[in-house]
Structure 1
Amino acid sequence: MAANDWSTLPLDLLGAIAMKLETLDDFIYFSAVCHTWNRVSSLIKHQWRSIVPWLLLAENTSYNPHCVRKIFNPSNNKCYKLNFPTFGAKCSGSDYGWVAMVDRNLAVCLFNPITKAEIRFPSAETIPDRRPYDEEIDENEEDYISWFLRVYMRKLIVLKVSQNEFIIVVIYDNFDHLAFAKQGDKSWTSVFVKQGYGFRMFDVMAMNGYVFALCSNASLVYWNIEDFQGYELVKPMEHLSSELQMRPFICGLGTLYLVESGCDLLMVLRFKEEVFDSNRKLIPDVYETLRFSVYRLDPKDKRWEEIKDHASLFVGGNSTMSVSAKGLQPNCIYFTDDEFELSSLVTKLGGHDMGVYDIKCKKKWRFYEGDDIRSAYCRPTWFIPQL
């Protein structure tokens, strides 16, 4: 082999190198080197995924006929423009390359912003126990759709239940109900969790063959993941209580997240407050995150213990992620705005409360300096690109 003839490297070696590339940009550059490298990238692209999450920015205009969305890459501080299948949808990112979307016709799908692939799910109109109408909403279909997507449907979480199968779990009706659906279903299936525990549910995740739901009092409810394959009411296996004092979260002044980090199950607590002016008058539609705390579940004692050392965590209106990669700050939490309790009912805009928080230094700063983060449609959300 000639000293500089990189095209003659063994294909398995080139594949191993490509799989270690951390960003989508690097993978694209790799595929453009020569015909051989492009062939290798084509063979492994379905196995490759970026390590660094990207930020799907807000949809901050009322007119977007070509459905163009901006994507921000925090590893190089660059923005890209990508086309989406619809405008005005509620979006929630995941670490599997997919963005869960509910459009203004209440159609639900998983969408890959890079490959443009789509997986269709049952309409949100088939969600069990869905209230057909809210008395406080004017008798206007557009007002109802906005209320349903923004307020009633609180969170969408993408879970991987097998190698090629995903489900979407929705938390709705003031965090009181859970339902799930998978590709090919005709309707959504209820998840039995509220009765007997009496607390709101904030997040859901899958780990080691189980699905966990985190309640507002820091207790956990969990199921065997195989229970999410049928169409009957899914009852939990067990309920793990908590001794933590969680009044701010029970009262709605904060958010809780669940995330798998290595072999650990972590709980992230986000403390928020409304903002007042110098005359102690509430500033409409302005609120801020004060700080975070991170807890690890001790599998032996089944108790939460606070920790200060962890990988970079990404929270907000998305499936929560734990990432270790160069260019990211360890022991830091990258957060986006997912607040609805404190946002104004007049402007219905949100998105401004985002940044990075350092657990050890107790400091926070902005990671994105653009002003296109506020929206009544879809606030910024994290997703990990995958081909």
Structure 2
Amino acid sequence: MAADWSMLPLDVVGVIALKLQTFEDFIKFSVACRWWNRASSSVKHQWKAKPVVPWLLLAENTKDNPDCVRKIFNLSNNKRYNLYLPETFGARCWGSPYGWIAMIDRNYDVILLNPITKAQFHFPCLKPLDCGTPPTSGESYESWFLRCFANRLIVLKVPQNNNYEFVVLVVYEYYQGLAFARQGDQQWTPIFVKSEVKMVDLVAIEDKVFALYEDGSIVSWNVDEFNALQLIKPADYSLHVNLVFVKLNKSINQIYMAQSGNELLLVLRYKDGVGNADNTDFDHDIVYRTIGFEVYKLKPKDKIWEITKDLGEVALVVGGNSSMCVATGHAEGLQRNCIYFTDDDYVYWRLVREKGGHDTGFYDIKTDVLQFYEGDDMRSSFSPPTFFIPQL
């Protein structure tokens, strides 16, 4: 007589689930039947997968897609998964390293969504932060807001009473504004920024958030200060590192900060081919391309950035998502010493015929080899593909 696997005791099924090694196997196991889902849910806090590589949430595709299915690309096996994610349609999305997609929906609310478990956390409406910046000529307010108002949503995972909670930072108004909200907050709390100098990027390391400005200065905040509805000032302006910033000119189109262990990294992204729509040579399909990167490590004692061609057994993930540094030693499909990047040049997304998303791929730091991702579901005028690291 054939065995009925669905009748195994719950604790036995849980033990079997803990033996699984890959994230994909655990997900497939949990959806086999209700009993196995219950067992896997009871042990998922104990389960440890092999290192999980970033997944790419592709752009929404509304053509012949009544069920609002969204494709996700897995770097480890080059497979695409179809997920029912109607919540993400019409929303601007940013990926994070904690399994969450941070979204601004068409009501201007911020939502954290786990695309695997479908869990959600809701945060306040962003519209009160708008200081009246007019939309681009010929563009609706809603379209402008989703594309331009928020430059970046960054998810922080903050220890709280032997557990943790999520805090969201929003960089807005063309990198001139910064605010935060904790779970349960009713409004966003502004954070003091240097209004006379443009902010470049933010990164969180343990209990601190570091902000980089285009004059080379770095400021920091303690995360535990993000708990009161008052203007939070940074700890200091003491660190000035100007050596590399002589390169801050029009040939650099984006600058990122990232964390590798306890080190701060600076990533310069170079692009070429940005044209003018009145130019006869203007390519309406691809108007800009990333042509290379430079990576620097911060030497705090000397207050300088030192260029490097070797990141060791890690890869960087930058672009329209939180900057991430991912160990590659046991992560199948992720190449060491490479930079994986997405298209974040939102100024041009609405201007090009095929919209944004084409400037997505990876770059080998040592060999200077570039490879771009092509295919369906890459293009969007407000929310091209974004990387996130899946978690249960």
Structure 1 equivalent of residue 118 of structure 2: 116
Of the three residues 135, 140, 144, the one matched with 1:147 is 144
Distance 1:78 1:384 in 2: 15
What does 1:165-176 correspond to in 2, within 5 Å?
Answer: 165-176=165-176
Query: Is 2:390 aligned against 1:385?
Result: yes
State how far apart, in whole Å, the 2-side matches of 1:145 and 1:33 are.
41
Match of 2:154 in 1: 157
Map residues 1-387 of structure 1 onto 2, 5 A cutoff.
Answer: 18=20, 21=21, 23-28=22-27, 41-46=40-45, 48=48, 51-61=52-62, 65-84=66-85, 85-127=87-129, 130-134=130-134, 136-138=136-138, 143-162=140-159, 163-195=163-195, 198-239=196-237, 240-246=239-245, 249=248, 251=250, 253-275=252-274, 281-284=281-284, 286-310=287-311, 311-324=314-327, 325-343=331-349, 345=351, 347=353, 349-366=355-372, 368-387=373-392
Q: 1:58 Cα deviation (Å)?
A: 0.9
- After superposition, the C-alpha distances for 1:284-309 in whole angstroms (9 at most, x for unaligned) are 46101111111112233332211222
CA contact 2:358–2:374 (8 Å) conserved in 1: no
C-alpha change, 1:120 and 1:250, in structure 2 (3 Å) is: farther
Q: Give deviations 1:38-90, integer Å, cap 9, x for gaps.
A: 77743332465662110000124478553321111010111111122242100
Instruction: Report the AA paired with residue 88 of structure 1.
Output: G
Q: CA deviation at 1:26?
A: 3.0
Report SS of the residue matched to 2:193.
coil
Distance 1:148 1:64, change over 3 A: farther
Q: Percent identity?
A: 49
Structure 1 segments of 4+ aligned residues over 6 angstroms from their partners: 7-16, 32-40
Whichever residue aligns with residue 243 of structure 1, its letter is N
Structure number with higher relative contact order (C-alpha < 8 Å, ≥ 6 residues apart):
1
| 2:54/2:74 contact within 8 Å kept | yes
Question: Counterparts of 1:109 and 1:374 in 2: how far apart (Å)?
Answer: 22
Separation of aligned partners in 1, 2:17 and 2:364: 36
The alignment yields a C-alpha RMSD, in angstroms, of 3.2
Give SS of 1:28's match: helix
Residue matched to 1:4: none
Give the aligned residue type for 1:202.
V
SS of residue paired to 2:269: strand
Distance 1:222 1:250 in 2: 25
Any idea what SS the aligned residue of 1:178 has?
A: strand
The 1:321–1:41 alpha-carbon spacing in structure 2 relative to 1, beyond 3 Å, is same
TM-score (norm 1): 0.85
- The TM-score normalised by the length of structure 2 is 0.84
Q: Which residue number corresponds to residue 4 of structure 2?
A: none
